[in-house]
Amino acid sequence: MIKLNDETRLYFLNSIVNELRYPNSHTFFFCLILITLYLESRNQPVIQEQISTILFERLQSFRPYPWGLMINFRELIQNTSYGFMNSPFIQQNRLPILFLFEHRLRPFQQFI
């Protein structure tokens, strides 16, 4: 994952997020992959930033959101051991992200 250039890594992560669909073992597997990649890349903030960006881009669209995408995003923001809301990318873009939570992501607002 580290050896991939930025564009290739972005395509790879997008292909993983494309598999976060309805409740089944396939979606669960890709949820675990994305969470594991996020955790394993603590020393690589670029990878965490790309994962965060992809999730926020997908959640800016209108509802209904894919079930797996919502569950994965909820797990990242709810579980403090991931440090998602305290990551440098989130802290640098705090105001736009708060605006997104207030207007589009109201169901997730209780977790911030």
Task: Check whether 73 has a pLDDT greater than 80.
Answer: yes
pLDDT confidence tier of residue 38, bands split at 50, 70 and 90: very high
Q: Is the pLDDT at 107 greater than 70, yes or no?
A: no
Number of CB atoms found within 10 A of residue 22's CB: 9
- Looking at 1.25.40.800, 3.30.70.1280, 1.10.3720.10, 1.10.486.10, the CATH number of the domain 6-111 comes to 1.25.40.800
DSSP string, 60-73: TSPSPPPHHHHHHH
Locate the domains of the chain by residue range. 6-111
Q: Is the pLDDT of residue 14 over 80?
A: yes
How much is the pLDDT for 17? Answer: 94
- Report pLDDT for 32: 95
